[in-house]
Every structure is written in structure tokens, then in C-alpha cells.
């Protein structure tokens, strides 16, 4: 089968290339033409004087360690120098350690974990300490009711069920005597914004204080007066700036809660009566918290 000129040249170059690979020193015969001369020069350029064979290169690099030296003595000195300077020698590419020997990441992690742990411990200790201090400062009027214990209860708060109830900062004790069976106190509400807020908050406070005191077998009447500050416009005033700025309006009576304890054949009865409300506040509260079916006697202006 006849072979074209291009195929003939391809076969010739292939034979010459194989001969050159087997015997690098053998000169190739001239094929002729400028292109063949350029190809020959290119092949000659690939052959470098003193170049290493594959086996020689493998033998050379087998003696080179991580210091980059093939001389064992120089490599030994380099390893000793790096060890003295604190540079890591053994580098594991799969290790999470920093090859430079830096432990900044570990220090940051330990510091963050320590901070969080210490913060949580401080929170728990603070809560426990606050609970212990609160209970130690909370007076139990069921055990002893006098001016000192009543003032302590108003200042530190009283236990109310599973919770805790505090009272306004401004208060006074008019009477607290187990011989007469009567406790009478007055507080000034400086946190409520309107009549409904004052009524709701005072109701909770008076109930907690009254029930706690009526648990004392020698107390049968608890009177809880609530006063407020009223401005020139007739509106209630309250503290501002987190309680640092007190209201300056006139102190006016808002309402009075009277808790009484009675006994009968069916058991012990606790009852509450609200008095001392002026007509304007009474009408406002009646419209907000009662209906036509609610007995009017619940909000009475008579003592």
C-alpha cells in the first residue's frame, strides 16, 4: 500500500527519536529541509550536560530530609540548630498542630472556654447568694408581729406563695401590736402611671402583706393605706430615671385595703374591704373593672 509524504516523514521522525533515546550520542542522518534541521536542534537542546538520569535523581532525593540538605552531617547540625531554637522538626500534614509551633489558637480557645465557664459559675453563685440573702432578710409576720418586723417586711419584702412581693420604698408603720391584734401601715406608690395601675399593684401588695400578717394567730386586722403624688394638673406622678428622680407633687390618699380575719363553725375567713376612694377615682375604676352585675359594695367610699 503506498504511503504519502507526510506519513513517511512521521515514521522517520519516530525512528530518529527512538534512536536518540537509546543512544543519545548517535547523530541522526540528515533528512533534509529546514524543518528537519529545526527539529534536530530542538532535540539536541533537550539533552543537558551533566543531567541526572531517573535512577540518579531518585538516589539523590532519597538522601534529602526536611532540612533540605543531602549531606548527613549538615542535616544533623541543622536539626540540632532548629531543635535548640524551638522549631518543630516532625511535621505531620494530617495534624491539627501549627507547623510553626505557635499555640495562639489553643490559648484563645482555652481563654474563651474559661471565660464562659467562670461567667456561668458567677451567675449561679449570684442567684444562690441572692436567694439566701433575700430569705434571711425576709421577715415572717406569722411568727412575730411588731413595729420592727413589720418595717423589715415592708423594706425587704414578704414571701407570697412560691413567689416574692416587694413594696414601695416610702412607707411608715402606724401600729403593729399583737396585743391589740392590729397592724396599720402606709405606703406611697411612685411607680404607677394611672389609677388602674396603682389599683392593680396595690391590690397584690396589700394581699401579700395582709395574708402574711393574718397567719399570725394574734393578728386579726391589717390596714394597708396607699398614697400617691398628684401634680397640679390632677394626674398621678411617678419616679423617673430608674427611680432616682422622685415626684414632687402633693401626697394624696388613693385607697385603703382592710383585711380582717374571722372564725365561724365552718372555719376561718379572710376578707378584704377597699375604702378611702374619692368619687372620681371610684367612677373611673368602676367603669374599667366592673359591670352592671358586679356588687357596688366591692368599691365603696365609706369606711
Residue 177 lies in a domain: yes
Please tell me whether residues 17 and 60 are part of one structural domain: yes
pLDDT score at 219: 94
- What is the C-alpha to C-alpha distance for residues 152 and 76, in angstroms, rounded to an integer? 81
Contact in structure between 113 and 121 (CB atoms under 8 Å): no
pLDDT score at 296: 60
Domain count, the chain: 3
Provide the grid cell at 211. 395574708
Q: Name which of 173, 167, 184 is nearest 219 in CA terms.
A: 184
Residue 81 lies in a domain: no
A 10 A CB-CB count for 69 gives: 16
Residue 11 lies in a domain: yes
Please tell me whether residues 248 and 167 are part of one structural domain: yes
Please tell me whether residues 57 and 199 are part of one structural domain: no
Residue 100 lies in a domain: no
pTM for this entry: 0.56
Residue 99 lies in a domain: no
Please tell me whether residues 114 and 154 are part of one structural domain: no
- How far from each other are the two terminal CA atoms of the chain, in whole angstroms? 135
Please tell me whether residues 169 and 151 are part of one structural domain: yes
Please tell me whether residues 169 and 269 are part of one structural domain: yes
Contact in structure between 209 and 164 (CB atoms under 8 Å): no
Residue 87 lies in a domain: no
Q: Please state the φ and ψ torsions of residue 231, each to the nearest 5 degrees.
A: -85, 180
Domain containing 157 equals 140-298
Provide the grid cell at 72. 548527613
Please tell me whether residues 154 and 120 are part of one structural domain: no
pLDDT score at 193: 86
The stretches of 138-232 forming alpha helices (DSSP H) are 147-156, 195-214
pLDDT score at 226: 95
Please tell me whether residues 110 and 46 are part of one structural domain: no
pLDDT score at 164: 77
- What is the C-alpha to C-alpha distance for residues 263 and 216, in angstroms, rounded to an integer? 14
Low-confidence stretches of the chain (pLDDT < 50) are 1-7, 10, 22-26, 28-29, 31, 89, 298-303
Domain boundary, last residue among 137, 154, 178: 137
Residue 98 lies in a domain: no
Residue 95 lies in a domain: no
Domain boundary, last residue among 96, 120, 137: 137
Please tell me whether residues 181 and 287 are part of one structural domain: yes
Please tell me whether residues 174 and 51 are part of one structural domain: no
3-state secondary structure of 240: strand
pLDDT score at 301: 47
3-state secondary structure of 172: strand
Please tell me whether residues 69 and 160 are part of one structural domain: no
Domain boundary, last residue among 58, 76, 94: 76
Please tell me whether residues 195 and 211 are part of one structural domain: yes
Contact in structure between 245 and 191 (CB atoms under 8 Å): no
Amino acid at each position: 500500500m503506498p504511503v504519502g509524504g507526510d506519513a513517511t516523514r512521521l515514521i522517520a521522525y519516530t525512528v530518529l527519536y527512538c534512536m536518540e533515546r537509546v543512544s543519545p550520542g548517535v547523530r541522526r542522518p540528515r533528512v533534509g529541509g529546514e524543518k528537519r534541521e529545526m527539529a534536530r536542534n530542538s532535540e539536541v537542546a533537550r539533552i543537558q550536560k551533566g543531567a541526572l538520569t531517573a535512577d540518579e535523581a531518585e538516589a539523590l532525593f532519597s538522601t534529602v530530609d526536611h532540612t533540605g540538605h543531602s549531606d548527613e552531617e549538615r542535616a544533623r547540625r541543622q536539626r540540632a540548630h532548629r531543635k535548640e531554637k524551638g522549631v518543630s522538626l516532625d511535621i505531620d500534614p494530617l495534624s491539627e498542630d501549627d507547623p510553626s509551633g505557635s499555640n495562639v489558637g489553643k490559648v484563645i480557645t482555652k481563654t474563651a472556654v474559661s471565660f464562659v465557664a467562670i461567667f456561668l459559675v458567677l451567675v449561679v453563685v449570684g442567684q444562690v447568694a441572692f436567694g439566701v440573702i433575700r430569705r434571711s432578710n425576709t421577715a415572717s409576720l406569722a411568727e412575730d408581729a411588731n413595729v420592727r418586723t413589720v418595717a423589715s417586711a415592708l423594706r425587704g419584702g414578704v414571701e407570697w406563695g412560691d413567689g416574692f412581693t416587694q413594696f414601695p420604698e416610702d412607707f411608715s408603720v402606724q401600729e403593729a401590736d399583737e396585743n391589740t391584734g392590729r397592724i396599720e401601715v402606709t405606703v406611697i406608690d411612685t411607680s404607677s402611671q394611672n389609677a388602674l395601675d396603682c389599683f392593680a399593684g396595690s391590690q397584690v401588695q396589700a394581699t401579700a402583706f395582709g395574708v402574711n400578717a393574718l397567719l399570725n394567730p394574734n393578728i386579726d386586722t391589717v390596714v394597708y393605706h396607699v398614697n400617691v403624688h398628684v401634680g397640679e394638673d390632677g394626674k398621678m406622678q411617678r419616679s423617673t430615671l430608674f427611680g432616682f428622680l422622685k415626684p414632687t407633687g402633693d401626697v394624696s390618699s388613693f385607697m385603703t385595703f382592710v383585711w380582717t380575719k374571722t372564725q365561724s363553725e365552718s372555719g376561718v375567713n379572710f376578707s378584704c374591704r377597699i375604702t378611702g376612694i374619692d368619687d372620681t377615682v371610684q367612677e373611673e375604676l368602676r367603669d374599667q373593672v366592673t359591670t352592671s352585675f358586679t356588687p357596688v359594695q366591692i368599691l365603696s367610699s365609706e369606711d
